[in-house]
Structure 1
Amino acid sequence: MRIAKFIANAGICSRRAAERLIEDGEVSVDGEVIDSPALNISDENIIKVGGKLVGAIPKARLWVYYKPLGLITTNSDPQDRPTIFQALEGKLPRVISVGRLDINSEGLLLLTNNGDLSRYLESPSTNCERIYKVRTFGKGREVAIRNKKIVIDGVNYHPKLISLTKKTVSNSWYKVVLTEGKNREIRRLFEHFGFEVSRLIRTDFGKYSLGNMKPGDLLEVTIDQNYSWKT
């Protein structure tokens, strides 16, 4: 197994982040600092990251977390804003998030201790649906979009569904279904149509749903056996 993949599967970080750690000289194999993420290793090698021993790859696990508003989906923040990992400290082994939700978004965030599983679930090629409830200011108008390509500032977006579900005098609710997770995709799409998003909640990701969970709730779930994520 390649060293970068081993580090990711051990739950240290993503494979890309592991490659950066190797480039920065933070990874050693049998006492020697390495500089190639393609180095193949075996169970007999001693791996250290940042001077700390990395143990055997644990069994893959998956959690559903109801991310509250006001938390950053990152390990550390230059602006010292609170992160999901600070909020979950002591409740989980070392995990990585499957994609992100921005500070002003809430709802379902998957967490796993396995880098391959995270990459599989994030990839648009797996066609995992992300379902959102989106509230906008003001009395909305009908927007019926299905599998349409939308280009905004040179970036291609492919929402599977945008549909008005409820409207009042003061605000409107929409259902949005995506199969990819581009940065601020929903907010950019709604700005494109002239709407201002006032609340954004992810309710589903693939086979998993918030159900009756409340902000801050954490639930370990079974990994769907139909997911072909092992490489």
Structure 2
Amino acid sequence: MRLDKFLAHHLGISRTLVAKELRAGHVTINGEITKSGALQISTDDVIKYQDNLLEHITSKRYFMLHKPQGYVCSTEDPDHPTILYFIDEPMADKLHSAGRLDLDTTGLVLLTDDGQWSHIITSPKRHCEKVYLVELARPLSASLVSVFKHGIQLKNEKGLTKPADLEIIDDFHARLTISEGKYHQVKRMFAAVDNHVISLHREQIGHLKLDIALGEYRPLTTEEVNKFLTSPN
């Protein structure tokens, strides 16, 4: 990696400002002042800024985020702020979400820089369950429980959705568990039974339940990470 890119990520400043810091002699590599941002660095190099050690990222990272409305699950977007706004970590833009939520959907998002791990969570073959709290525009009928269990015919889809578990909380609220990740699936499932989703919140992915406040994030424990490797749920 180039030194200027490494510094920009760690210091949270632009490459232009990084160049100024380098010219000022504020950066050392292995005890030597360096002023070239184009220098290629390795994980063996000891890099300091104003005598403060900047650590290399050598291991994979895994986080849980409680996503608010109005943020997109991507690293860059020209029209909306991204979920990386909440992540105060070095090289945050190297993280990606393991399964996205819509702009107006809140709840659990998993972020990582481990592509194989996120593939395990999102792969249709794994059938990793996701649990959503749903608010509807029209009253819910008890008969919908068996309809969702049988599978829903979505518009422009050839087959039925996989069986889904619908728990009716009251006339306008339900908890839905699905094991797929089709585009806007929850909203489309309710639209197919002549209803409209007012709000949507993801509470759980597999075994992992959301346990932090809105807008907060935390690293996952080793046990939480590894459980996805041994079981689809």
- The alignment's TM-score, normalised by the length of structure 2, stands at 0.66
Bigger Rg, which one: 2
| 1:188 Cα offset (Å) | 0.8
Query: In the alignment, residue 207 of structure 1 is paired with which amino acid?
Result: H
Query: In the alignment, residue 111 of structure 1 is paired with which amino acid?
Result: L
Q: Show the counterpart of 1:85.
A: 84
Instruction: Sort the Cα spacing of 1:63 and 1:55 in 2 relative to 1 into closer, same or farther, 3 A.
Output: farther
Instruction: Sort the Cα spacing of 1:164 and 1:226 in 2 relative to 1 into closer, same or farther, 3 A.
Output: closer
| 1:162 Cα offset (Å) | 4.1
Note the alpha carbon deviations across 1:143-186, whole angstroms, 9 max, x for none.
11225252422354524324242224xxx111211112111111
Distance 2:77 2:59 in 1: 29
Task: Report 1:139-154 matches (<5 A).
Answer: 139-142=139-142, 143-144=144-145, 145-146=148-149, 148=151, 150-154=153-157
Distance 2:149 2:126 in 1: 19
Distance 1:117 1:89 in 2: 22
Instruction: Sort the Cα spacing of 1:95 and 1:53 in 2 relative to 1 into closer, same or farther, 3 A.
Output: farther
Q: Give SS of 1:187's match.
A: helix
The answer as to whether partners of 1:159 and 1:176 remain within 8 angstroms in 2 is no
Report whether the alignment pairs 1:224 with 2:223: no
| 1:141 Cα offset (Å) | 1.7
Task: Report 1:1-231 matches (<5 A).
Answer: 58-78=58-78, 80-90=79-89, 93=92, 94-142=94-142, 143-144=144-145, 145-146=148-149, 148=151, 150-168=153-171, 172-211=172-211, 213-222=212-221, 223-225=225-227, 227=229
Aligned length: 174
Instruction: Sort the Cα spacing of 1:191 and 1:55 in 2 relative to 1 into closer, same or farther, 3 A.
Output: farther
| 1:195 Cα offset (Å) | 0.8
Distance 1:63 1:150 in 2: 34
Instruction: Sort the Cα spacing of 1:226 and 1:162 in 2 relative to 1 into closer, same or farther, 3 A.
Output: closer
Distance 2:150 2:61 in 1: 32
| 1:53 Cα offset (Å) | 6.2
Name stretches of at least 5 consecutive residues in structure 1 with no aligned partner.
1-50
Query: In the alignment, residue 174 of structure 1 is paired with which amino acid?
Result: A
Q: Give SS of 2:111's match.
A: strand
Q: Give SS of 1:71's match.
A: coil
Distance 2:131 2:158 in 1: 21
Distance 1:91 1:65 in 2: 16
The answer as to whether partners of 1:159 and 1:178 remain within 8 angstroms in 2 is yes
Distance 1:52 1:189 in 2: 53
Which is richer in strand?
Answer: 1
Distance 1:52 1:77 in 2: 30
The answer as to whether partners of 1:207 and 1:224 remain within 8 angstroms in 2 is no
Query: In the alignment, residue 138 of structure 2 is paired with which amino acid?
Result: G
Which is richer in helix?
Answer: 2
Name stretches of at least 5 consecutive residues in structure 2 with no aligned partner.
1-37, 44-56
- Alpha-carbon RMSD: 2.7
Query: In the alignment, residue 153 of structure 1 is paired with which amino acid?
Result: N
Q: Give SS of 1:152's match.
A: coil
Note the alpha carbon deviations across 1:176-220, whole angstroms, 9 max, x for none.
111121111111111111111011011010121113x22111121
